[in-house]
Structure 1
Amino acid sequence: MQLQVTNSPFNKEQTEYLNLLLPTLTETQRIWLSGYLAVSQNANASFQAEAELNATLEPVESKQPLNHVSVRDVTILYGTETGTAQMLAEDLGEKIKEREIEVNVSSLDDFKPKDLKKVQDLLIITATHGDGDPPENAISFYEFLHSRKAPKLNDVRFSVLSLGDQSYEFFCQTGKDFDKRLEELGAERLYARIDCDVDFDEPAAEWVEGILQKLDESKTLDLNEGTRPLNVGIPEEKSVYSRTNPFQAEVLENINLNGAGSNKETRHLELSLEGSNFEYEPGDSLGIYPQNDPELVEEIISELKWNPEESVLINKQGERRSVREAFLTHFEVSRLTKPLLVKAGELFHNDELTTFLNESSDDEIKTYIDGRDLLDLVREYPPKDVVPEAFIGILRKMPVRLYSITSSYKANPDEVKLLIGSVKYPGFRQEFAGVCSGQCSERVEPGDTLSVYIHRNPNFKFPFDPNTPVIMVGPGTGVAPFRSYLEELEELGIKGKTWLFFGEQHFSSDFLYQVEWQRWLKDGVLTKMDVAFSRDTSEKVYVQHRMREAREELYQWLQAGAHLYICGDEKNMAKDVHQTLVDILVDQGNMSQEAAESYLSEMRKQKRYQRDVY
């Protein structure tokens, strides 16, 4: 029911805000809010009665009030690559502040290890990167904690929230390592570690609720302090859309930027954000909830001989959808993972699958998983007497896809632009496309909508000081955030020293945004640009080769305080570029390898060396 002035005690402005807020609340949030309001009302009545009683009594001197608050300070540290862990840490910090508990929120890199002995309650929220490695802004703390310099932590209580992806072998490894090491150092576990897959909302909320409950249990209310007045005012207009309530953005343009003869397909998408109240900055990403290939979904349903319109439960909040919609938009069906295979072995009652799982090595299971999807699984090991809702219950939620925004909000209000490379994978039956890139390249047309939200990336932020030189390295679609940055510089009228290294396969067919770079070079928004087209010469030339050629000037820029940004492929490009930087520092700065690494590490701590790699 919509609130109105005529059916509630609220004025028009209040009803408008409440009508925006209430539909976004989960069932858990509604229950908590109703309890909070009830407790607040009772507490206010109690404090008022106590105040009236105290007014009739003679004042008594005391060094500390009765029922003194004995609350431990809380330290929240986060390790993140994309900003998700930071978002969760800051949200938890606000919830703890509301309980009038002292809390400090910091990245693991910014926290001074020597202060670890002073910590009372330590909460760590961390992602895992690559092959079980800590995120870049957690490396220093991770190394300290696992060194012989780490102190005993007998007076510390702790808990860890791990973020990861079950499709990787070392799932949530960094969080597991922190959890184990803190226990080894004598710290007491405040609340059990929770490991989150890409669909982290529900397990993360469970962990937060558990932490808050433990903190509430250890807090003694100080009735003598009274209540603090609520700061009631007109809230600033914010978007009601978010990761858990995505906005349906209309597709305005969907253009293939590659020319004839290219081996690639790179889509430039323009989406309308009108009505979303979204804002973003250069370096931020757009999250897209993709849809599975409808043909694959229909084949799976047909193979299982299910009614596609049968209603099934899709989450703990009690939402229900048809089998077809659940497969199409809510769950991953295009790839298999070992946890899914194990759950299928328990559910399918298929003797062949059970035997395969019991008798196969990890390597054999990995080989089976590689290139197979859900259709392959149910064809090869058909489930027996499994109802749709039970089957849906073992599937992984559809992972969101993050794409670096390639436009400036200030230059394009109510619009967002993306650069998406179409990805193809060898499959067991046939070659198949990436879920989101395939949807965008094959099935999305102007007028269609995509489910989106803005994903902040606080670890990839640009300076807007004309006196700060900026070096950008972005081959292929990695150039997206740099286009956003330069477009914003142009909009703001800022002209400083900017240098872009761009690489692709062919000059004639793959020079993404060529006209814009040339215009910005002419107008002075972009100072320098070096390009590498790997397939146009007998020997392949990449961005790191261009960096080596310009090593003398590049070193001078670094010495002058330049900020350095790298965006793109992690496994090859980012590692090669990093090693090139080390080599340049050794060659031009007369440094040892160790000193060069230390130089880059210090740049990273100063936020002068930032990477957005995937």
Structure 2
Amino acid sequence: MNAVVATQTGLASLDGDKLSSLERLADGLGPAELYWIAAWSAARADQLQRGILPAQPVKAVGERLTILYGSQTGQAKRIATQLSARAEAAGLAVRLMRADGYAQRDLAKETHLVVVISTQGDAEPPDDARGLVEFILGKRAPKLPGLRYAVLGLGDSSYPQFCAIGRQLDDRFAELGGTRLAPLGEADVDIDAVATPWTERALEQARQALGATQPAARVATLQPVPSRATHHRERPFAAPVLDNQTIVARDAGRDIRHIELSLEGSGLRYEPGDAVGVWPENPPALVDQWLSLLKLDGEHAVHHEGRELPLRRWLTHERELTRLSRPLIAAVADVSGDQELASLLRPDQSSRLAALFADLQPIDLWRRHPTAWSADELVAALRPQTPRLYSIASSQKAVGDEVHLTVAVIDYQAHGEPHWGAASSFLGASSDERGVPVFIEENERFRLPRDDSRDVIMIGPGTGVAPFRAFVQERRETAARGRHWLFFGNRYFSSEFLYQIEWQAALRDGSLDRLDLAFSRDGDAKVYVQQRIREQGRDLYTWLQEGAHLYVCGDANHMAKDVHAALIDVAVAHGGQSQEQAKEWLSDLLQQGRYARDVY
């Protein structure tokens, strides 16, 4: 914040250190969070003037509530921020921190702690919480007999290790001597159904434990400055389709689309690294499969949770039809009486459950375990539809009021029947006749370096290349001084080299300095990006030692793990490090924000 802005906003009386602190506080926050800070500040000033609050420093550790969050897609941050605002309004002294900004030595001094944390893929912590989770679960964690804590885990029951990180932390805090403020919360993809009542209970327990008597700040009566960005997750913008074209050859055997949407009039803004949230509609052919299989009438009115809609509307717009979940398996096992199916939910059957998740969609489960289901029972058993996130493939500086996506359309045959993806099929069939419901999901940990002289290494096979198209566009528009190196891989050079013409043009104009390619099916031996990483290891390690930022985007379960292993090998081979030292080196890069991953 410069001096002119400070003077115009009434902050000229703040000294340089305070202005710097204010800038750091605001860094990375979205409009809603900034407006909340403004409202909270105004309410606190009002209370100080009326003598309700003493003008004194923040309370000591033992008198405050610390809220930590670990978030990969922003949902844990959203819940933690909401809880912090409510706790402040209830009169509690609160410290809200992202896990990677928390000093591990402070844990031994905490007395009241809430952790909101997601689980990624196969029981992995979010990248911003890896260091803290390893510390808490490791040998160096302190005894915590004076700690009262609560853990809210976020996850997706489509994965066998649902909310595993939340469970591990909850158990570990108890093992270290802590006492629960509230039982472990486990929120599925319909997060708020669990998170809202859980945070209410945890907040009430925290208020009682901390003896809060101060009246709530009158934040609700304050009106924030209006923003053009009035669209969000619960109020998406209907974005017109400007372009929808296939970017692989006709004989590729798969359908990958480049889709351009208009954001004109939405007020939506984004940065390279952010994602677009898309509220999908299930494919009409899939809905017809369900109605035919269960012999149900699509026009039958179903009343559920205070709403009444035709069954076809529930199945098209409101219910998840393409992803299995643990509760769904339990429901089918219960109705069918199949004990073998029910046994898959036991902890010792996680590998078999994972295989089932990878192989079947929900309708396959019904085909294998045929029983009579009413329309009402079906709607109650299926999970609510949730938005899908797609890494943005454009820079707003380059394309203006547009947003571009790179989408692999899921459409395949399995078990003798056609199968589809929900959002990818919806987007693949999208046209200019109607808008696509979208919102912007910020990803503050997947950002280009502030220092534009820093070099950038990008690893993005397949559709994982999407955000790096945005990165290169952005750095071209800002005339960034740093170098740019892209690793890209796919199956075939001739048919699946995504954005080939753009990358070649970028090499010519200097906005891309190096391009390493791996096409796994073009030769007798399969070649993947991790092999190219090892081959170019000496230069890659030199770039990183000189301060380069490293980014990885794509599949979490295989590619990201293989790339991580290749980076460890590079540090061992060219940095003279041991395996343990190389792992610590990469962990340190993650902690610094110089190694960022957008994996799914």
Could you tell me whether the CA contact under 8 Å between 2:62 and 2:109 is conserved in 1?
no
**From 526, 535, 547, the counterpart of 2:533:** 547
Unaligned runs of at least 5 residues, structure 1? 1-39, 52-62
Could you tell me whether the CA contact under 8 Å between 2:112 and 2:206 is conserved in 1?
no
Do the aligned partners of residues 365 and 429 (structure 1) sit closer, same or farther apart at CA in structure 2, a change above 3 Å counting? Answer: farther
Bigger shift: residues 280-289 or 227-236? 227-236
Could you tell me whether the CA contact under 8 Å between 1:371 and 1:426 is conserved in 2?
no
| Identical residues among aligned pairs (%) | 38
After TM superposition, give the deviation of residue 587 of structure 1 in Å.
1.9
**In structure 2, the residue corresponding to 1:591 is in which secondary structure?**
coil
> Which AA in structure 1 matches 2:66?
T
2:107 pairs with 1:116: yes
Post-superposition Cα deviations, 1:445-492, rounded to whole Å, max 9, x if no partner, equal 233322222111122111142321111111111111111111112222
Residue of structure 2 in register with 1:15 after alignment: none
2:462 pairs with 1:476: yes
Distance 2:537 2:526 in 1: 19
Distance 1:258 1:390 in 2: 42
> Which AA in structure 2 matches 1:148?
K
2:276 pairs with 1:292: no
Residue of structure 1 in register with 2:452 after alignment: 466
Distance 1:157 1:69 in 2: 16
The count of corresponding residues between Structure 1 and Structure 2 is 548
Distance 2:77 2:69 in 1: 6
Could you tell me whether the CA contact under 8 Å between 2:122 and 2:557 is conserved in 1?
no
Do the aligned partners of residues 128 and 260 (structure 1) sit closer, same or farther apart at CA in structure 2, a change above 3 Å counting? Answer: same
**In structure 1, the residue corresponding to 2:267 is in which secondary structure?**
coil
Distance 2:490 2:587 in 1: 28
2:426 pairs with 1:433: no
Distance 1:290 1:272 in 2: 17
Do the aligned partners of residues 388 and 539 (structure 1) sit closer, same or farther apart at CA in structure 2, a change above 3 Å counting? Answer: closer
Residue of structure 2 in register with 1:414 after alignment: 401
> Which AA in structure 1 matches 2:99?
L
After TM superposition, give the deviation of residue 431 of structure 1 in Å.
4.1
Could you tell me whether the CA contact under 8 Å between 2:65 and 2:206 is conserved in 1?
no
Could you tell me whether the CA contact under 8 Å between 2:137 and 2:172 is conserved in 1?
yes
Do the aligned partners of residues 383 and 464 (structure 1) sit closer, same or farther apart at CA in structure 2, a change above 3 Å counting? Answer: same
After TM superposition, give the deviation of residue 115 of structure 1 in Å.
0.8
Residue of structure 2 in register with 1:326 after alignment: 314
**From 382, 386, 389, the counterpart of 1:402:** 389
Distance 2:219 2:339 in 1: 65
Q: CA RMSD in A?
A: 3.3
Residue of structure 2 in register with 1:388 after alignment: 375
2:252 pairs with 1:265: no
> Which AA in structure 1 matches 2:204?
Q
Residue of structure 2 in register with 1:603 after alignment: 589
Matches within 5 A, 1:1-40: none
Bigger shift: residues 406-415 or 360-369? 360-369
2:229 pairs with 1:239: yes
Do the aligned partners of residues 163 and 366 (structure 1) sit closer, same or farther apart at CA in structure 2, a change above 3 Å counting? Answer: closer
Distance 2:483 2:386 in 1: 38
After TM superposition, give the deviation of residue 591 of structure 1 in Å.
1.6
Distance 2:361 2:55 in 1: 65
After TM superposition, give the deviation of residue 345 of structure 1 in Å.
4.3
After TM superposition, give the deviation of residue 70 of structure 1 in Å.
12
**In structure 1, the residue corresponding to 2:252 is in which secondary structure?**
coil
Residue of structure 2 in register with 1:10 after alignment: none
Residue of structure 1 in register with 2:23 after alignment: none
Could you tell me whether the CA contact under 8 Å between 2:156 and 2:189 is conserved in 1?
yes
Could you tell me whether the CA contact under 8 Å between 2:272 and 2:471 is conserved in 1?
yes
**In structure 2, the residue corresponding to 1:126 is in which secondary structure?**
strand
Could you tell me whether the CA contact under 8 Å between 1:82 and 1:459 is conserved in 2?
no
Could you tell me whether the CA contact under 8 Å between 1:70 and 1:219 is conserved in 2?
no
Provide the TM-score with structure 2 as the length reference: 0.83
Distance 2:140 2:479 in 1: 49
Do the aligned partners of residues 535 and 229 (structure 1) sit closer, same or farther apart at CA in structure 2, a change above 3 Å counting? Answer: closer
**From 51, 65, 77, the counterpart of 1:74:** 65
Matches within 5 A, 1:169-188: 169-188=160-179
Residue of structure 1 in register with 2:25 after alignment: none
After TM superposition, give the deviation of residue 69 of structure 1 in Å.
13
2:581 pairs with 1:591: no
Distance 1:484 1:588 in 2: 31
Do the aligned partners of residues 408 and 313 (structure 1) sit closer, same or farther apart at CA in structure 2, a change above 3 Å counting? Answer: farther
Matches within 5 A, 1:49-60: none
Bigger shift: residues 503-512 or 304-313? 304-313
Distance 2:55 2:450 in 1: 50
> Which AA in structure 2 matches 1:293?
P
Could you tell me whether the CA contact under 8 Å between 1:71 and 1:220 is conserved in 2?
no
Residue of structure 1 in register with 2:94 after alignment: 103
Could you tell me whether the CA contact under 8 Å between 2:91 and 2:213 is conserved in 1?
no
Bigger shift: residues 568-577 or 449-458? 568-577
Provide the TM-score with structure 1 as the length reference: 0.81
> Which AA in structure 2 matches 1:106?
M
Residue of structure 2 in register with 1:498 after alignment: 484
After TM superposition, give the deviation of residue 404 of structure 1 in Å.
0.4
Post-superposition Cα deviations, 1:564-603, rounded to whole Å, max 9, x if no partner, equal 1111122332222222222222222222122122111111
After TM superposition, give the deviation of residue 609 of structure 1 in Å.
0.7
Distance 2:220 2:315 in 1: 46
2:147 pairs with 1:156: yes
Residue of structure 2 in register with 1:24 after alignment: none
**In structure 2, the residue corresponding to 1:393 is in which secondary structure?**
helix
Do the aligned partners of residues 595 and 270 (structure 1) sit closer, same or farther apart at CA in structure 2, a change above 3 Å counting? Answer: same
Post-superposition Cα deviations, 1:152-188, rounded to whole Å, max 9, x if no partner, equal 2222211111111112111111101111111122212
**In structure 2, the residue corresponding to 1:261 is in which secondary structure?**
helix
**From 399, 410, 435, the counterpart of 1:423:** 410
**From 275, 279, 283, the counterpart of 2:273:** 283
Unaligned runs of at least 5 residues, structure 2? 1-42
> Which AA in structure 2 matches 1:562?
A
Do the aligned partners of residues 376 and 466 (structure 1) sit closer, same or farther apart at CA in structure 2, a change above 3 Å counting? Answer: closer
Post-superposition Cα deviations, 1:533-564, rounded to whole Å, max 9, x if no partner, equal 23333333322232233222222211111111
After TM superposition, give the deviation of residue 435 of structure 1 in Å.
2.1
Distance 2:133 2:356 in 1: 34
Distance 2:339 2:219 in 1: 65
